[in-house]
């Protein structure tokens, strides 16, 4: 990455400055996000390469593995660089059968947080996110439990994931919300209303599935044309569009390949014309 400038960085919570293109560490786990990857050393090499390329924002979760992604981050990157921001999540449990189980009660969230501290090898988590709303637990109760952890100095900033606009507004009445992580990409903009509020309030918006797993719907043809004009891949253009669509967007493309990682990082240097942005947006 080139030297930081106003357009390619964002201050999470107002004080954690990161390059806006981060890395999502889901794919360094085993198949179906369970267990260790086939090549553990390659997974560590991907993480180390990301940091060497200037990536200073890594997103993970306790359910990735489960626990594997957080542990590999510590093994590959600890002791951490002073400017490296690691975000993780709690509230969604992953069992060995591959089920995702929501756990938003205060005791579960506190226990998940403690386990993440241990696996990551840190005393405080930079950004801790409520992974997925548990319909069996009052939403305000879950958020209040995390707000207590923030008040106690156990987490620096609080984020939400997979929330509606109403849930975001409810949470903001309880605690300062630093980020929102919702599914969002060129082909899926159902969270546009949430993004609008994030932009107006200076809240970071972290789009998961930023490349839509390669499925970007009716925009595929437009992407191909723009990509050809830049001698880039359509996925690089999709990332460039995200970065230029809103100054609060923090894409976290994930990969288990060093080569693919380098392509993703290079996308931050692509400048789309106004006409190209219009073509992709409309």
**Mind telling me the catalytic residues?**
64
190: which DSSP letter?
Answer: T
CB contact set of 93 (below 8 Å; sequence gap of 6+): 63, 66, 100, 101, 102, 103, 108
Q: Report the half-sphere exposure of 188 (CA within 13 A, side-chain side).
A: 14
With contact defined as beta carbons under 8 Å apart, do 249 and 213 qualify? no
Q: Helix, strand or coil for residue 103?
A: coil
| CA 91-97-99 angle, 5° bins | 35
Task: Mention every residue, 6+ apart, whose C-beta is less than 8 A from residue 138.
Answer: none
Distance (Å, rounded) from C-alpha 47 to C-alpha 58?
9
Q: Which of 35, 7, 52, 15 is nearest to 262 (CA)?
A: 52
Write out the two tokens for 162.
């997979």
Cβ atoms 93, 65 nearer than 8 A = no
């Amino acid at each position: 990455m080139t030297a930081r400038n106003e357009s390619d960085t964002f201050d999470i919570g107002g004080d954690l400055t990161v390059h806006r293109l981060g890395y999502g560490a889901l794919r360094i786990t085993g198949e179906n996000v369970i267990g260790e990857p086939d090549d553990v050393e390659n997974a560590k090499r991907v993480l180390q390469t990301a940091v060497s390329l200037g990536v200073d924002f890594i997103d993970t979760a306790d359910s990735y593995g489960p626990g594997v992604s957080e542990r590999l981050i510590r093994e590959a990157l600890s002791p951490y660089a002073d400017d490296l921001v690691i975000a993780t999540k709690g509230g969604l449990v992953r069992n060995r059968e591959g089920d995702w189980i929501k756990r938003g009660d205060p005791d579960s969230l506190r226990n998940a947080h403690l386990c993440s501290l241990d696996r990551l090898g840190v005393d405080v988590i930079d950004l801790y996110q409520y992974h997925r709303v548990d319909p069996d637990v009052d939403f305000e109760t879950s958020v209040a439990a995390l707000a207590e952890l923030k008040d106690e100095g156990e987490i620096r900033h609080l984020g939400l994931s997979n929330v509606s606009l109403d849930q975001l507004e409810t949470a903001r009445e309880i605690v300062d919300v630093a980020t929102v992580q919702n599914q969002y990409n060129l082909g899926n903009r159902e969270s546009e209303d949430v993004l609008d509020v994030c932009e107006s309030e200076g809240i970071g918006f972290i789009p998961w599935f930023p490349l839509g797993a390669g499925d970007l719907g009716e925009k595929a043809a437009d992407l191909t044309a723009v990509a050809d004009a830049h001698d880039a891949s359509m996925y690089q253009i999709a990332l460039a569009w995200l970065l230029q669509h809103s100054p609060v967007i923090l894409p976290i493309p994930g990969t288990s390949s060093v080569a693919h990682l380098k392509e993703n990082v290079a996308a931050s240097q692509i400048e789309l014309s106004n006409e190209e942005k219009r073509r992709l947006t409309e």
